[in-house]
Amino acid sequence: MNPEIYALSLIEWQLFASLTYKSEKLTDTVRIKMFFALLRRQADNFGVHFPQTIWCLRTERGEATGRIHHHALIAGFPQHALTTATCFSFMKIWEQLGGGMARVSLYSPLLDGVSYILKGCEAEYARVGGDYYETRKFGGNCDVMLSKSIFSVIEGRRSIGVRRRRGQREAE
């Protein structure tokens, strides 16, 4: 099994997002900045420091039109933020930022969003046949952008959605 798929599947993801753009003329830098602006605004809404947000972002070209869009797994928000209303607020903020259509839903581990985000990576990892079409769709490699905070979670140094104040200890 691909070690990236395994590591990312250990994270308790909270949201799954698909984000499109109104214009094809945007640069990759602008697209990434729009994603960061979305997360920063929501982090601020829920009192979360942006570097504490956990995310995995994948760029993809649509099958029908070839338009660039992103898929993202998101975590790091408090439990009370995990509502349908939060999903709709993500969509509204995305449109306010100039993005196109956004679909944001609560993450369901039954739908295996990690494998969807990393589709094609298994064949790339193995460097063997695999699903040629899916691998070529992403330019022949598996480019995924990860937040820095994701590594703290994978290493077990941080819990998701739990805030601790300085000097606060867990109940024994």
Domains recognised in the chain with CATH numbers: 3-154 (3.30.70.60)
Q: Which one-letter amino acid corresponds to residue 49?
A: H
Beta strands (DSSP E) in the chain are: 15-21, 54-61, 68-75, 99-106, 144-146
Cα separation, 14 vs 125, whole angstroms: 26
Task: Please give the pLDDT value at position 6.
Answer: 78
Residue 26 pLDDT greater than 80, yes or no? yes
Paired residues of 72 in beta bridges: 17, 57
Q: Higher confidence at residue 75 or residue 159?
A: 75
Task: Please state the pTM of the whole predicted model.
Answer: 0.77
140: left (phi over 0), alpha (psi -120 to 50) or beta: left
Do 54 and 75 form a contact (C-beta atoms < 8 A)?
yes
- 15: how many CB neighbours lie within 10 A of its CB? 22
pLDDT digits over 98-108, tens only? Answer: 999 999 999 98
Residue 64 pLDDT greater than 80, yes or no? no
Residue 157 pLDDT greater than 90, yes or no? no
CA dihedral 47, 51, 52, 56 (to 10 degrees): 120
Indicate the pLDDT class of residue 138, thresholds 50, 70 and 90. very low
